[in-house]
Structure 1
Amino acid sequence: MKALVKLTAEPGLRLTDVPEPETGPGDVLIKVLRTGICGTDLHIRAWDGWARQAVEAPRVLGHEFVGEVASVGADVQDIAVGDLVSGEGHLVCGKCRNCLAGRRHLCRSTVGLGVGRDGAFAEYVALPASNVWVHRAPVDLDIAAIFDPFGNAVHTALTFPLVGEDVLITGAGPIGIMAAAVARHAGARNVAITDVSPDRLEIARKVGATLALDVSAPGTGIAEAQRRLGLKEGFDIGLEMSGRPEAMRDMVDNMTHGGRIAMLGLPATEFAVDWAKIVTSMITVKGIYGREMYETWYAMTVLLEGGLDLAPVITGSYGYEDFDTAFDEAAKATGGKIILNWA
C-alpha cells in the first residue's frame, strides 16, 4: 500500500510502498479516506529537535483521519465492516491507576499514533477497537478527518463552564479557531481571540469570535481587547493555545480575580510567569493534553448535531500525491486545516 513515511533520520518525507498493517483479534483495519495535517506532522517532516527525540525512523506519519472499516478481528464487537470511523490517536496501557479508574487520557504510558507507532497517512491503518470511534450520525468527511484536533479544542474550551462568561483565546491556529466556535456555541457572552495572522483572525470571525485582534501592532495587546469589549474587571476564562510566553503573561495580567485558564499551547522552552499575581488573584491554571476518552468524543458529535459549523476551518484539500504542496501550505501557519484525500 502507499504511505507517507519518515524513511530516514533527516528532513523530508517519502511517499512509498509499505506492507499493509497486521491486525490481531482485538484490532480494526481501516481504509483511510481523508487525513488532516497536524503541527506534529510538520515537526516530524522538518526533523527538528523534538522529532529527533520522539520518533524512530522509519515511521508512517499521521493521526488525524477518517476512514471506512475494512475488516475486524474475531474479538471485536459493535464495529462492522463498512462503518465510517475516526480514531483516538492516544493508545494507552489499560493497566495503570488512571486507566483502571477510567481516566485513560491521563495514562503515563501513552503511545501516539503516527509518532510511536505507524499512523494514518496511508491507504490503511490498524487500531485497537477501543481506539475506534464510529460516526453514528452523518458527518462531512473533512470534518470527520479532524476530530482529533477538534477534540483538543472541545476538551480545552469545555474545561470550565462558559455560559455568560467573557472568554479570551490566545492563538488563532486551527485549534484556537475551533475553540472560539465551541465557546460561542456553548453560550459565552464574549469570545476574544488574539494572533499575529490577519488571515487566521478572519477565519475566527467567520466562526463567531466577538473580537479577533492582531496583537502584532503597537497598542493592541489584550488590555485593548478588554477596552473594546467594555470589560471592567478582566476575562473570566482564558484558553491559551499558542504556547507563547508573552501570550500567557498577557493573559494572566488581564484575568478577573478568580479567573480560570485552560492551557493547551505547548511551549518550546521553559518560561517565567508572575506567580504572585496568579496567587493573589486566585487564578486557576489547568494543563490540557489531548481528549478525554470518550466524553470529549460524545461532546464533539453532539455539538455538530446541534449546528456547530466548522467548515471555515478547512482551508485546503489535496490528493495525497501532492503532499509536499499540502505540507508547504500548512507550514505557512496563515490558514486553517489542510486535508489530504486518500480515497
Structure 2
Amino acid sequence: MRALRKVTAGPGLELVDVPEPEYGPKDVLVRVLRAGICGTDLHLRAWDEWAASTVQAPLTIGHEFFGEVVAVGADVDHVAVGDHVSGEGHVVCGTCRNCRAGRRHLCINTSGVGVNRDGAFADLVVVPASNAWVQPAGLDPDLGALFDPLGNAVHTALQWPVVGEDVVVTGAGPIGVMATAVVRHAGARRIAVTDMSADRLALAVAAGADLAVDVSRGQSLADAQEALGMVEGFDIALEMSGAPAAVEDLLANMNHGGRVAMLGLPTDRYAIDWGRVITHMITLRGIYGRELFETWYLMGSMLASSPALREAVSSVVTGRYPAQEWEDAFAETASGHGGKVLLDWS
C-alpha cells in the first residue's frame, strides 16, 4: 500500500510502498478516504527541534482522517466492517490516574497517531476500536476528516459559557475559523478575529466574526474595541496563533476577570505581562486536544442540529489534492493563506 513516511531522521517525506499494517484483537483497520494536513505535519516534514526530540523514524505521519472500516479485531463489538469513521488521534493508556478517573484527554502516557505510531497518510491505518468514531451514513468525507481539528476548536471555544460575551479569537487558521463558528452558534455577543492573512480573515467573517483585525496592516484589538463600541474589554479570548505579539495584545485588551483559552503552540518561549494577569484577575488555561469523548458528542450534536454550523465548518476546506500530489498540498498548507488542505486517498 501507499504511505507518506518519515523514512529517516531528517527533513523531508517520501511516498513509498509498505506492507499493509497488522491489527490486534481490539483494533480496527480503516481504509483512508480523506486526511487533513496539520501544523504538526509541517513540523515533522521540516524536522525541527520538537520533531527530532519526539519522533522515531521510520514513521507514517498524519492524524486527521476519515475512512471506511475494512476489518475489525476479534474483541471488537461496537464497530463493524463497512462503518465510516473519523479517528481520534490520541491513544491513551487507560491505567494512569487521569484515565482511571475519566479524564482521558489528560493521560500522561498518550501515544499520538502519526507522531508516536504509524498514522493516516496511507491507504490503510490501524487504530484501537475505541478511537474510531462511527459517523452517520452519507457524511461528506471532507467534513468527516475535520473532526479532529474541529474537536480542538470546540474544546477551546466551550471552556467557559460564551452566551452574551465579547470574544476575541487570535489566529484565523482552520481551527480559529471553526472556533469562531462555534462561539457564534453558542451565543457570543461580539466576535473579533485577528490574523495576518486577509484570505483567512475573510473565512472568519464568513463563519460568524463581527470584525476582522488585520495585524499586518497595523490594526490592533484596541482599534477593534473602538469599532465594536466596547468599553470594558473582551470577556473571553481564544488564543490560536502561538504568536507572542498576539498574546500581548489580547492580554492588554481583556476585561477584569477575563478568561483565556490557549491552544496555539509557540515556536519558542516568550514573556507574559504577569502583573496584568494578576491585577486584572485573568484566567489562563492551556488546551491540548479534545475531551475523550465528550467533545465528540458535542460536535456531532451541534452539526446535526445546525446546517449553518455545518456550512461554516466545511468552509475551512480550501484545498483538496490526490495523495500523490502531497508536495503541492503541503506547500499550500505552509503558505499560511488558506484554510484546511486535505489529501484524497480514495
Tell me what 1:76 maps to.
76
Tell me what 2:336 maps to.
333
C-alpha separation in 2, matches of 1:39 and 1:92: 22
Give the residue type in structure 1 aligned to 2:278. Answer: V
Post-superposition offset of 1:279: 1.1
The secondary structure found in structure 2 opposite 1:43 is: helix
The secondary structure found in structure 2 opposite 1:154 is: helix
C-alpha separation in 1, matches of 2:212 and 2:298: 25
If the length of structure 1 is used for normalisation, what is the TM-score?
0.98
Tell me what 1:144 maps to.
144
C-alpha separation in 2, matches of 1:236 and 1:96: 35
Tell me what 2:25 maps to.
25
Post-superposition offset of 1:311: 2.3
Residues 1-343 of structure 1: pairs in structure 2 closer than 5 A: 1-136=1-136, 138-218=138-218, 220-307=219-306, 308=309, 309=311, 310-343=313-346
C-alpha separation in 1, matches of 2:77 and 2:209: 42
If the length of structure 2 is used for normalisation, what is the TM-score?
0.97
Give the residue type in structure 1 aligned to 2:67. Answer: G
C-alpha separation in 2, matches of 1:107 and 1:327: 30
Render the CA deviation track for 1:215-269: whole Å, top value 9, x for unaligned. 1223x11101111111110001000001111111111110111111100011122
- Name stretches of at least 5 consecutive residues in structure 2 with no aligned partner: none
Post-superposition offset of 1:271: 1.3
Give the residue type in structure 2 aligned to 1:329. Answer: E
Give the residue type in structure 1 aligned to 2:323. Answer: Y
Mapped contact 2:196–2:215 kept (Cα < 8 A)? yes
Give the residue type in structure 1 aligned to 2:77. Answer: Q
Post-superposition offset of 1:154: 0.5
The secondary structure found in structure 2 opposite 1:216 is: helix
Mapped contact 2:84–2:137 kept (Cα < 8 A)? no
Post-superposition offset of 1:137: 6.0
C-alpha separation in 2, matches of 1:265 and 1:139: 29
C-alpha separation in 1, matches of 2:193 and 2:139: 27
C-alpha separation in 2, matches of 1:188 and 1:159: 13
Give the residue type in structure 1 aligned to 2:223. Answer: E
The secondary structure found in structure 1 opposite 2:216 is: coil
Shift in CA distance, 154/138, structure 1 to aligned 2, threshold 3 Å = farther
Shift in CA distance, 137/207, structure 1 to aligned 2, threshold 3 Å = farther
> What is the aligned length?
342
Give the residue type in structure 1 aligned to 2:165. Answer: E
Post-superposition offset of 1:57: 1.0
C-alpha separation in 1, matches of 2:337 and 2:192: 19
Q: What's the C-alpha RMSD, in Å, of the aligned pairs?
A: 0.9
Post-superposition offset of 1:274: 1.2
C-alpha separation in 2, matches of 1:273 and 1:249: 7
Post-superposition offset of 1:330: 0.6
The secondary structure found in structure 1 opposite 2:169 is: strand
C-alpha separation in 1, matches of 2:285 and 2:59: 32
Give the residue type in structure 1 aligned to 2:231. Answer: K
Render the CA deviation track for 1:116-143: whole Å, top value 9, x for unaligned. 0000000100011111111136522101
